[in-house]
Structure 1
Amino acid sequence: MTDLHSAPAPAVAPESVALRFPVPTEVYPETSWKALVTHSKIQTWRLLLRSAKDPFTMLQAIVYPSVMLVMFWAVLGISVTKATGVNSVYGYAPMLALVGAMFGSMASGLHLKEEWRKGLLARFWILPTHRAAGMVSRLISEAVRIVLTTVLIMLVGVLLGFRFGQGFLAGVLLLLVPLLMGVGFATMVTALSVNFAKLPLVELLSLVCTLLMFFNSGFVPTAAYPVWLQGFVENQPMSTAIDAMRGLSLGGPVAEPLIKTALWSLGAIAIFAWPAINGYKRAAGTPI
């Protein structure tokens, strides 16, 4: 029989090869700009990876708008094109790019509430990181997602006949219009997410976005709506953004609809930025 007491003792790793945490090489004061930049970059990358791996976000931001674009073009596109003399894709492609930006923000709002519920916001809050990195990284990740979503949906539009007819710079500005509107919308979604934990966010905002999607100048021309409704249709945020994108691609007025879109977006930021910041601080310190 083997003598258990005589069995060799397990080898112990020498101190020189013991597992250790890496020595920090970039140590910044928590309130410094360098800390804000570094920590925001790390958080932004985390949020982008999470969105890319989440089927719900991909469905809301890319699949749903792309399928809707093809459906609108196939079902209504020919009729609208014959009635107006202009290819309907110049209205549908910008409209669905905006829808992708808004629905993607709603999915991000749900993820924010989920991180709040699981206590992840509180864990990040107590780490030695810049306090503003959480909010800044969310806005940056939203901006990146909106631009990528817009590019992908506009590529589907190109397959259906959409063309950037006003030159390269106008095309770049066109791709940034959904970003302008989307940042304001994302600020509102963040404020609602962190201040109203029990609010059925997706249901309410989906209803609002669906109504806006069917009452704008991209769905059918403004003149096709009842006279009493035309003022709302012409000046609601989706219509102003669509008109600006149409002007930057097909030609037509750009300055006025672009200014209106900027006013809508800046107004949303002015109204919801402070509630979003305060709500985020509160959410990071209290359970849902």
Structure 2
Amino acid sequence: MNTDTASMTMPPEAAAAPVDRITTFPEPTRRHAEGSLAALGTQSWIQAWRLTKGWIGSPLVTIQALLYPALTLIMIWIVLGKSISSVTGQSSLAGSVPMMALVGAMSGSVVSGVTLMRERKNGLLSRFWALPIHRAAMFFGQLLAEVGRVIITSVLMILVGVALGFRFTQGFPAGVAFFCIPLLFGIGYSTMVTAISVYSEKGTMVEFLSLLVSLMFFFNSGFVPLMAYPQWLQPIVANQPVTCAVEAMRGLTFGGPVAEPLMKSVAWSVGMLVVFAVPALIGYRRAAQKR
């Protein structure tokens, strides 16, 4: 009762003061036009950090992008390591470490695709679209987050591989090029996953991409030597994107041909980026505008 009486006796200026404090905003210290490159860069980094923090707190991402590749690498070394080494005369880690770095990139992209579909369904993309931000910031932010995740996965595979006996024997520049291959492959594959995610339903997308990851995992030269596959299947296995990347990474670490598999790997990665980038951007726009 006393509070109500006091509020009724307050002068109009005092009653309006709290409203002024709430509705008065500080002047912005940085101003970028909505469609400027500066806005795109800044907002893409913000989006990438938002996604990365979400992935860090997600057990599913940790399992798919880190634990699953690391444990699979160890199991392949235990079960097939000696057999592959006796046949090829080279450590099985020369193929399995690059292979699991690539598989980790693909598996993590599937999880990020599921996250994107969830945000599309609950309307978060639409809320972002209503904000005065660059229209491509969401897409490029996701690619930046994927790059960070692929780097972490690749570093983990290298650490596990080194503990098992994996070594770089071709020098520092070759080691740097080794890391660039899964990064480029991860960007291309993530673009494809994004394009699929913004157009399809969750169940269909997960089933298709899981099947694709399984096929690429079991049918590449990093899993078993190319000669172990049926002769009619060898040309397909030799030219699929994971095999091309594995062979280029093998040459950069243990020696061997690099130029041809590297060109094929770059062609696959850039091809996925070129083919799926525009559909992914258009799909992002339609998903965000959908009410």
- Would you say same fold, with TM above 0.5? yes
Distance 1:151 1:169 in 2: 16
Instruction: Provide the identity percentage.
Output: 51
- Asked if structure 2 preserves the Cα contact closer than 8 Å seen for 1:147 and 1:176, the reply is no
Letter in structure 1 aligned against 2:76:
F
- The structure 2 residue matched to 1:262, chosen from 245, 255, 266, is 266
How big is the alpha-carbon RMSD for the aligned residues of Structure 1 and Structure 2? 2.1
CA deviation map 1:178-212 (0-9, x unaligned): 11111111111000000113552222211111111
Other-structure match for 2:166: 162
| TM-superposed deviation, 1:83 | 1.9
Other-structure match for 1:89: 93
CA deviation map 1:38-59 (0-9, x unaligned): 2112111111111111111111
- The structure 1 residue matched to 2:178, chosen from 174, 177, 191, is 174
Letter in structure 1 aligned against 2:224:
V
Other-structure match for 1:129: 133
- The structure 2 residue matched to 1:280, chosen from 262, 281, 284, is 284
Letter in structure 2 aligned against 1:185:
Y
Change (3 A) 1:24 1:233: same
Distance 2:224 2:177 in 1: 23
Where do residues 204-243 of structure 1 align in structure 2 (5 Å cutoff)? 204-243=208-247
| TM-superposed deviation, 1:23 | 2.9
Letter in structure 1 aligned against 2:278:
W
Distance 1:182 1:139 in 2: 9
- Asked if structure 2 preserves the Cα contact closer than 8 Å seen for 1:195 and 1:275, the reply is no
Worse-matched range after superposition: 262-271 or 193-202: 193-202
Other-structure match for 2:102: 98
Where do residues 31-70 of structure 1 align in structure 2 (5 Å cutoff)? 31-70=35-74
Other-structure match for 2:79: 75
Other-structure match for 1:153: 157
- Asked if structure 1 preserves the Cα contact closer than 8 Å seen for 2:117 and 2:202, the reply is no
Worse-matched range after superposition: 238-247 or 210-219: 210-219
Distance 1:260 1:233 in 2: 13
Other-structure match for 2:206: 202
Worse-matched range after superposition: 166-175 or 15-24: 15-24
Count of residue correspondences? 284
Distance 1:38 1:182 in 2: 22
Worse-matched range after superposition: 194-203 or 54-63: 194-203
Change (3 A) 1:5 1:101: closer
| TM-superposed deviation, 1:22 | 3.8
Other-structure match for 1:119: 123
Matching of residue 144 in structure 1 with residue 148 in structure 2: yes
Letter in structure 2 aligned against 1:40:
S
TM-score by length of 1: 0.93
TM-score by length of 2: 0.92
| TM-superposed deviation, 1:5 | 4.0
Change (3 A) 1:226 1:32: same
